[in-house]
Structure 1
Amino acid sequence: MGTPEFSSFSRTGMFEELCKCSRETPAEESRETSDTSQQPSDREDKNSELETSHHELRKRVVQLEEENNKQRVWAESVETRLQALLETSQRQYTATSCSSNPYPHYQEGHWRQAFPGYVTQKEFQEKEEENKKLKARIKELEARNEELLSKAMGMHKHSENVNDPWRLSAVLQMYEMFRLRDWEKFRSTYSLTYKSGSIIIKKLFDACEEDIQQRKRNLFEVLGIPPYNETVTKSNQGMMQEIRNILRYLYYQGQTEFYSKIVMQTGIGPKTPIQREFTEQCCKIYCLLLLQDPPLKAVWNSGEIKYLEHVDKKGYEYWKKPTFLWPIIKCGEQVVVKGVVWDEK
């Protein structure tokens, strides 16, 4: 390492200069004495100047020595630090070469403590995959909603009233979200099998149909209309539509107690809040489908394979013994919502 600009200056060199000045001074003094023997005051002035110069020179020597010492200490400190950095770099390089982890003293737990937002490469890839699946699912749901809406509009000769909360497109969307979101939550919470789930859904749907039929019979009896007389029914289409609207309002505004009575008819007897919420919501949505104009109804016919889809998204050729989890929803002979099946072993 190079030394500072004053490092070449030594005390020996300084004193050699002083001695040289001292040797030259007497000769000059003798000449001046011989030349100016008559001027004693001039000699005194010369001596005074020499003493002053000598004193200043000594001060300068001391100052230069102090600066030289400071420069040497600074150089030694820098050299020491550089050496320490070099040794540290060599140790890190050796550790990196011997391990796949460039920071062996930092395991995953240490990284998480030091950096709260730290995410491993594996976690990042898992999140990316999950995000892609969610985006694909959203697109699928949007496409199905569009399909349901177009079918709903096709079944009506007039456009829907968007302010009607129980209009067909709104109820179909409720049904689709219920099958995907609420059913999955219910199934995962209680670890239900597809078999037990299909039994519950079938019982709830049957109970809804029986409840609506009973209420219609009661209304027909009060109004004096024979319920099964087709001629009278066709001649009173306006009255039938009003009856259907009254029932739709009744079932839409129905409170918890209203649907809990329907659930009780199945003998299921839900015991937890999640069970009660699922069963009552299932009844409400299906009752609103039954009360559409024209009504939509569940069909449990596994022979219509083209209107079925497997719960595991398997092709027809891989189905073993398909059993309904969710029924086909029809409006007359038109299929509105495909059914969902699973393989019963």
Structure 2
Amino acid sequence: MKRILLVSLISISIFAACKTAIIKTQTIEIKDFDATGYILDIGGGGEGVIGQLKTNQVIAIDLYKSELESAPDGPFLKIVMDATDLKFLDNTFENATIFYTMMYIPAEKHEKVFSELYRTLKPGTLLRIWDVNLPARTDNPNKKSIMYPFRFKLPTKSIRTAYGVRLAKNEIQNADYYTRIAEKAGFKVANMINQDQSFYLELQKYPLLPIPSIIDTLRQIIDKEGIKVAINAYQQLKQNRPNDFVFTRKGLEKLCTNLYVDGKIKESLEIAILIIKDFNLDEETTNSYGIEYLNDGKVNEAIEILQLNTLKFPQSANTFNSLGNAYIKSGNKILAIKNFEEALKLDPQNQVANQMLEQLKSGN
């Protein structure tokens, strides 16, 4: 748990008795920096230095509610959130900061923190990190923890505090250490400043080449090798190369429409079924797919989708109503009656099924 400790003679004596190394007070100038848009501040509780510096641009997150409650006013928003599981969409933020927080996050979680930040930052933006050079226990067998007293000089005020933290388990956690992890996630170093027992690091998420949509690749395969080969390729690529293509329902729906317009009805149907299965569409959406084919006169294709819907949602009377209507249009009176009877069995008050059965059985 993150602990912010005020320096005093009492706290120093306590730490000394507990085999804690005490570093001399460091004065760190925290300059204002240009930033457009919102700033995601990791570990923004406690003193909330970034929140005080950039105020209403800051969205501060912290794992502990108490840390956020004790932080000064300033941030636009304070959210209890785990930095290893950010609840933000990809490419959301134009800036991110981590102010003397990484030392409190277990080393085994560092890679996840950087990968989450890389995901949520927009290409080309900066991640700014202030932290300490944290020694390893293996290099300091007589010490268990360390205390870093600080005086932070902001443009309009000074803040005195101290951070007490356990020594790193296996290796020194310094700017080089974090650089290695950040580069593994995809960042590149834009600036690095070492100052006494601390460092300041700027990491940039470099612009990436646009990731191609899977639909162009699928269309090429469909035209050259057929729909079955294309669907198999889709499944293999999604499993083995998920980061090399954009796999979206919207993209596949566009492909489905284009195939239909081009007269490739069978191929269009197979893509529609792929969407239904791969994105686990609900009953209503699946039904709408079938009705679209039905309204356009593609009865057999509609029946195939509506049959799939009855298999996915066997307790829904509506799915059997729709399939019954499709069989009426196909001229298959027997199967139409069978499906309306099933709908009535599931919902005895089903007026549509009752009316259709009366008409079908009376011969009207």
More strand per residue: 2
Question: TM-score range with shorter-chain normalisation?
Answer: under 0.3
More helix per residue: 1
Please, what TM-score do these two structures have when normalized by structure 2?
A: 0.20
Structure exhibiting the larger radius of gyration computed from Cα positions: 1
Please, what TM-score do these two structures have when normalized by structure 1?
A: 0.21
